[in-house]
Amino acid sequence: MNKLIYFLLRTFAGNAFADPQFPAPKLIKHFILQKILRRNAHVPWPVHPSTIIKAPEKINRGTRCPGMAPFCYLDGRNGIIIGENTWIGPRVSIISMNHDLCNYSKYIPSNPIIIGKNCWIGAGAIITAGVNLGDHTVVAAGAVVTKNFSGNVLIAGVPARVIRELEGYQADGGRP
């Protein structure tokens, strides 16, 4: 039965809605909300109905679905590149565009935000324009990331700083 559900979702909504890492009932719910009721209809992958995504065409989402957690805000207008197996918690804001400090109605072009693979962005974290996070960077809940960090680190605080070095990421081969 699940194979039929995933086939129908792939046919009517695209491959992102037929991702077996998510349970079929959850994908059906998001399909109905996005494709029929038109909540976040412009986003080509499943997202929570409370999430706001700007310029999804400029977001490279990696292997997961950013915005599946509630109340996320992803502003991809300057670009966001998310590596494979990167987890994003609830209320996370990833903001690739900033205002001009002398004229608030103007935006400043910037490099895209780059988040490496096997990262974890904790609840309520904020990542600002132009930031580059290396592979296996863990961002603690509530952190505000305003500068680049190399991989294999735990960062926390406002502004974020390295709390400790981490060993390399070790996948357990289980379900993400």
Q: Which residues are catalytic?
A: 99
Sign of CA dihedral 63, 68, 71, 73: positive
Neighbours of 63 (CB within 10 A): 13
Tokens coding 99: 């205002």
CA dist 129 and 127 (Å) reads: 7
Phi/psi of residue 33, nearest 5 degrees: -65, -40
